[in-house]
Amino acid sequence: MPELPEVETVRRGLAPVMEGAVIARALVNRPDLRWPFPPDMAARLTGQRVLMLRRRSKYILADLGSGETLLIHLGMSGRMLVSGQGVGRFVHAHPAPEKHDHVVLEMANGVRITFNDPRRFGAMDLVPSAAAEAHPLLAKLGPEPLGNGFHAPYLAAALNGRASPIKAALLDQRIVAGLGNIYVCETLFRARISPRRRARNISAKRAGGLVPIIRAVLDDAIAAGGSSLRDFRHASGELGYFQHTFDVYGREAEPCRTEGCTGVIARVVQAGRSSFYCPRCQR
């Protein structure tokens, strides 16, 4: 599932062709994805100007001139693809419709935005913009890791007394929004903290020290266009490249990249998720 860097990469790819543009026609080709689409979604989108594209955690929010916000979640395999205008170094003509093109936005500027989702775990909803943060999918989310509300004293307090492993705590979207398995593994490697260590056993100083590391990992991933492991593509159709610089994720039995370390990357399963780490470097 795309994590914060992948969703932010998609948002940045869509913003130049969607912000300020009018949706000339919206096509909704099925009644649902993970959940049913809102009533009359095509009619409610058609004719609306996109005022702003925002991101909250792993969701894209398109604020519309109607006072509603289109909430988009990519799910496991969802892609928002742009055609009909230059994106980056490429120009994409409108492709022939595909089986899994579930929602298509024909923009008045000639651009087409296609939401393609083979597994149909994605989601879209329309909500009043003023109440978007109260949406059930957003209401209980913690602070954005790249925002001002996420800082050392906050994280130290949030982890204090928690019996769960630090890996599980950082994946808890109520503590910090948008982090997923890949970037928590990479963060804990840079911090030299074992994913198996109990959150309550990490000192306040060390817990607070995770904040700049989390931000650095996310910034590096966004700069690389995210990670493409299976389905993820930019809005231009290009792949992300951060996977080529993983220190631990997916590198089981490979040598640790820390200079002078003779350890090899191990994998353990925690709450059904694979955790990758160096047992020598991370304690």
Catalytic positions, written as ranges:
2-3, 58, 273
Tokens representing 206? 């060390």
Cα angle 55, 151, 242; round to 5: 50
Say how far apart CA 212 and CA 60 lie, in whole Å: 24
- Angle, helices 4-18/210-223, rounded to nearest 10 degrees: 50
Are 227 and 244 within 8 A, CB to CB?
A: no
The CA dihedral of 72, 78, 84, 87, to the nearest 10 degrees, is: 90
Tokens representing 37? 């689409």
Residue 205 CA, chain-centre distance (Å), reads 28
Parallel, antiparallel, or unpaired: how do β-strands 101-107 and 112-116 relate? antiparallel
- Each as own residue / partner, the long-range contacts of residues 264-270 (CB below 8 Å, 24 or more positions apart, any chain) are 268/195, 268/196, 270/165, 270/167, 270/168, 270/195, 270/196
Q: DSSP 3-state assignment of 133?
A: helix
